[in-house]
Every structure is written in structure tokens, then in C-alpha cells.
Structure 1
Amino acid sequence: MSNQTDTLLSAKGLTKHFGGLVAVSNFDIEIGRGQIVGLIGPNGAGKSTTFNLLSGFYKPTSGELYFEGRNCTGASMMTISRLGLVRTFQHGSLCRSLSVADNILIGTMHALAGLHRRERARSVAEIAGILGLTPYLGATAGTLPHGIQRLVSIAIAFAAKPKLLCLDEPLTGLNQTEVTSTLEVFDLLRREHGCTILLVEHNMKAVMSACDKIVVLHHGQHLATGTPAEIQRNEAVIEAYLGKRHEH
């Protein structure tokens, strides 16, 4: 268990009602610095709602959210992003009509505010190099293959210099080669650039290989937390989710 000094994000009792519907109920999570944490669960488990609560996109009906020990409950997405929690969106976060370079440049605006454009351009080049996007800098983002567009969305978020990078289904639609290379990018961001990652993802094989810790949601409630090996052995998880995906 992480202690208070190395806990980056924690949520206690997060609950979200939409009218009479309880989408998430009494949810707890703790993410330590330098971890890659997976948030998984069956369709309709409440993953997207939880992700939106953690990032400030939704305000909780009840419960508390802390980032670096600071109470951020009810804070706006902009406020939370300025503290260092930056997210992508499930269907991409890029401007399709702009070049890859200009997309990444937009991501640098808050983190590098006040710097000369030339310095921001240097940062864009560095970020493109880290994510393998250098050959595509001049290309219009919307014309690129789906896997490259996913990397551009991650690059935009990474350009904001996040302490916690929250990725919403970043592997959707990728082939196995693209999945493998994207997981290598995640490891690089964590290992060499100090980036903690929260991953909401349906690709169970990828989650099990990439994550240090996995949190499982079911019917809007916390079902289990553990290492990939522990989650794979957890009978409640197998019954709710993994067994259905790994019958063969």
C-alpha cells in the first residue's frame, strides 16, 4: 500500500447519480507515483463515469477526490488538469484538420505558457521523438492511420506535462503490432519521463501485461484491486468478467 507521500491520486467513496440511476457507488482508488494502473470491468460497469469523475469532467454526487494530498472534490476539469492530471477521450482528442505538429503544439500551451514559439516548437519535436511521431509531424492528423492518430492524442496529453496521464481506451481499434508498440510507449513514459498512467481499456491481454495494479468495477461498484496475477485468480472477477473473455 502506498503511503501518503507517494500517493498521487486517491478517491474515497466516489458516488455519481444521474437522476434515479446510480452509475457509480462508493468507489475507492489509490494511485501511487510511477504506477501504471488499469481500470477494467464489463460493459456498463461504470468505467467511463468513474474516469469522468476522477478527471473533473463530472462532479461527484458524494465522496472525495484528492490529488497530491489536495482535496479536489468538485473541482473543474481545467483546475484538475493544471494540477497535473491530464486525460484523453475514448474517441480521440485531436484536431483532424491540423498537422500533427500543430496538434502537439496545442497540448503545450498551458505547460509552456509564456515561452517563445521556437521553444515550444523544440518541445513539440522532442515529444514527437518520444512517441515515434517525427515522420508524421507535417501530415494532417485526420489523414493518418488509426493507430498513429491514437498516438497523436496521447502526445497532445503528454505535451501538457502531466503527473498523471489518464488514457481512455487508447488501444481500441489497434492491431497487435500497434498495441505492442503503444504499450512500449507507455513503459517509456513511465520509466524515463516519470509519468504515472491510469488506463481504462478492454484489451485484457494488454492490461495484464502493462499494469502494476488493476482495479475492477462491476455494476458501478468496486469489485477487486490487485496485481494482474491476483486479479486473474480472483473468483469474483472471473465470474463477473474475465471468465467470459477467456473461456477459450
Structure 2
Amino acid sequence: MRQIILCIVLGVMTHVVSAQKYSFTLKGDIINVKDGKVQLYSPVDSVKALLTTEMKDGLFTLAGELDAPGLYTLNVAGVRFSIVLDGKEMILYGDYLQPDTKLLKGSPVVKTRLALDRLYYESFDMMINEALGKYYEMTENGQKQSEEAEKFIGKAIRDAGANWRAHLLDFVKTHPDDLYVPVRLMQEVKRGSDWGKKAYEALTPKMQASQPGRLLKEMLK
């Protein structure tokens, strides 16, 4: 009787562990490349591949289980794509010569990424573009440098950076439970943002405990 009960308990535990795994299928359609090996890596381990498959004529299918949705590195015939996996059935349309995953279909976080890209353009790029126009006027189209012009463009870059980070922090506060948010914050921490801890604390406990949330926390130590 005890053995039967033990078997039932073990069976339930195995089912629970299995249910906690993240299962997915990623199909790839990559231009400017033909055949090669496709490997998926953890962002903290570039030696041991988590999953491997073969690519033929730029097409591949990678399927399996991971501990959790999150940030990973996709090695496509020697070229690395940083990718956030969070969907069940996904298709990646990409360019081997310009590795990017913004055309990842079936991934909920892509919408957030595009929204943040637009926010970056509006809060940073537009300010820089306007400042560069004035800078070129001050330097006669870049031919004549001046201390005043250099101070101007330096301040403009700092102001644009501060403006972007302020808008990003507001975005975090309104989207604290979005898986892509800590991924984007990691990019900012790499640039030396001193407000990273405040942004991390704005995330929900669930997102802080997520795979990218834990990676972000390590970067902030």
C-alpha cells in the first residue's frame, strides 16, 4: 500500500514539474544563408547548447522545453540572434547579414519591443536629430569646430539620454508585468544608467522573479 501511495505521489510530482516547463516551437526563415546548425543558448552560458537543430535552405524548426520563457541566444550558422521566447508557436523571419528578431511572429513581447523602439525614437532620436541640425550650423556643416558647439552637442546628448530614461521609467511603471521590460532595462544598465535599481523595483514581484528579472538583478549587484 505504501509503495502504491509513493508511486502516486511521485507521479503527481513529475506531472507538476513537467507542467512548469515552457514548451515551444520556433520555425525560422532566414535569408542570405543556406545550410547550417541552429543552436539555442542561455544568455549566461555560450558553451552548452540547450537545443540544437539543422537548417536547410534558410529554413529550420527548433522545438523543445525550457525552464521558463525569457531571454536566450539563437546561434544561426555562427551568427547570434538575441531572442525573447515567450510564445508557443513562433516564426522568425530574419536576415543572416543583419541579425534581428523584431520580425518574430507569435511572440507577445514583440508588440512591447516595437512600442519601446517608437518611444526611444520619439524621446531620444528626435531630440538628437534636432540638436545635430543646430550643431552643423554652428560648425559650418561640420568643417569648423568650436568649443561652444562641442559643449552644445554634449549637453544635447545628455539631455536626450535623461529624457529617454524618464520616459522609459514611466513605461516600466505602467507595464510592470511585461516580460520584455526587464530585457530592455538590461540594455540600459549596460550603458551605465544609475536609475536601474529604481526601475527594477517598479517591476511586479512576478516579473522580478522571471528569468530576465533575475538576470537584471544580477547586473545591478
Of structures 1 and 2, the one with the larger relative CO (CA 8 A, separation 6+) is 1
Q: Which of the pair has more CA radius of gyration?
A: 2
TM over 0.5: no
Normalising by the smaller structure, the TM-score range is 0.3 to 0.5
Greater helix percent: which structure?
2
State TM-score, norm by structure 2.
0.37
